Structure 1
Amino acid sequence: MKLSRTSPSRGPNSAQVTGFYDDDTGSIQYLVADPNTRQAALIDTVLSFDPKSAATNSDSVESILDFAKAEGLDITWILDTHPHADHLMASSFLKKRLGKPNAIGAKVLDIAELWRDFYNMPDAFDPASDFDHLFEDGDSFQIGSLPVKVMLSPGHTLGSITYIVGNDAAFVHDTFMQPDAGTARADFPGGTAADLYGSLQDILALPDDTRLFIGHDYGSDYRKTPTWESTVAEQRRHNIHVGGGTNKAAYIDLREARDNSLAFPDRMLHVLQMNLRAGALPSTEDDDQRYLKIPLNRF
């Protein structure tokens, strides 16, 4: 992880947001801080995973913890927006390391039910025991003095959630990408382009100057350096998939055609069986090694 950037607080009830780019997966990890109390939350952090060697390490998240310590921040929440298919979640690692609560959307329970069948692991995955909080649509909590509202944003997965922090920041994960890149895919089990369109419209209904922080960026033909912040107004005007008022039917046609051309994520079958347990690694077996189960020819 080499690139990071801080979006400063705009004043009262506005968070300071630092994004950390994960080179291997194009994921952005967020450290969201209340400037008044110096309390903070981590959102969508990455535990590094190499699918070729099935090796893990904590280098990515360690650098974020070092940054938080240098800034004098007290991390009080470990948050995820959904069970990720392209990176291994650091939630379980951080919960043990920091002793702070972790959370995700409540519909992770339905996602777990889908994947028990795909893995033929009927007794696997108990998100209610691996996460301290399962947020419902409309729930609220605090990061220091900053109010946070949870908004259900399905489409990429059936249980994705958006965190709206303070009066001007929303963490919109795999819904929007940067305006020149469009929107996220919606072809994973439980996801649909129709649901994603509705979620995009809900986000576009936020105030124009709301800062939108996305889950991924891979650059573009015209922009080689990854970026991850935009505003509602910028997305409404310029997003290549929904900007200018694209209607639902046209969006579904565009999104489904695009999804049909995309490759399967190379980490998906590895990491989901851990991410449905907050990123916890499988238990060791009698040889003190850990093992994953991968379905062959299922997808």
Structure 2
Amino acid sequence: MDSALRAVENPDLRLVRLTLADASPQTMQDEAAAVFELFLRREAEFGVHPSVVIDHPDISDRSDKGFIGDAARYVAARSDALAAEGRAPDRIVVLTTFGDLVGPSLAAAGFESTVIDMPAGPDHTCAYIRGPAMPAGTGSTLYVEAVNEADEKIKPAFALKLVDGQGQLHGGVCGSIHERGGRRYAYLATLTTAAEAAQGTGTFLAEELFRFLRDQGVSTVHLGTQTAAAFYRKLGFRVVHRLVPGMRTRMVGGREVRDDLVMLAMDL
């Protein structure tokens, strides 16, 4: 541990590991919430490319005008509204954890469906796409995301956090673990670092996560990201689904860098 912490140039840091074996479900929720709050602060550093419009439906609306009640109607209305503004999308991508409910409606409207299989992630996760495949920098995309973040299945089963002597959070990881077919899988909900964290902190956290998951008997990890595909690929993750190329933007060394929305997996 000491040598690993020296690699991120802060020997004052310590790594805290929590599981449901040594922490209550409420404590796990609180720890995951703190990590997610840090993640949201870092996400603010990224923008959305002008060619992409992101829409988050109200998943509590079960009327025939809501996404859950009639997904195709909802998406068509959103697309028509953009067309009226002179921004008709060339491609529509829907990512949802309600595939069992909205799939028939979207399939009938001509959307191609892709099941996104994450044994430790939300059940019924699917992508529905209509329109041509387009590389980053071409065409426009309407991206609709309807995800149940309160899904009981993905309540945090583990959390790792990197704190200093004052208890300040410098980075953290949280996610869930499930078994299927005699194998154990993990779903990585969040991995993030503080803006002031030393270079290498994210890699250190990831390596500690992999060590922890192997100790838990996990064989494969899944996740989705809009902003960190390059980071995860360097760690050994493979892209399973590339849904929206060039969706997010950030400035690096005075130049714009675009990041894809992807789903990834890694065998430990």
Q: Give your verdict on TM over 0.5.
A: no
Q: Which has the higher contact order (CA 8 A, sep 6+)?
A: 2
Relative to the length of structure 1, the TM-score reads 0.26
Q: Which has the larger radius of gyration?
A: 2
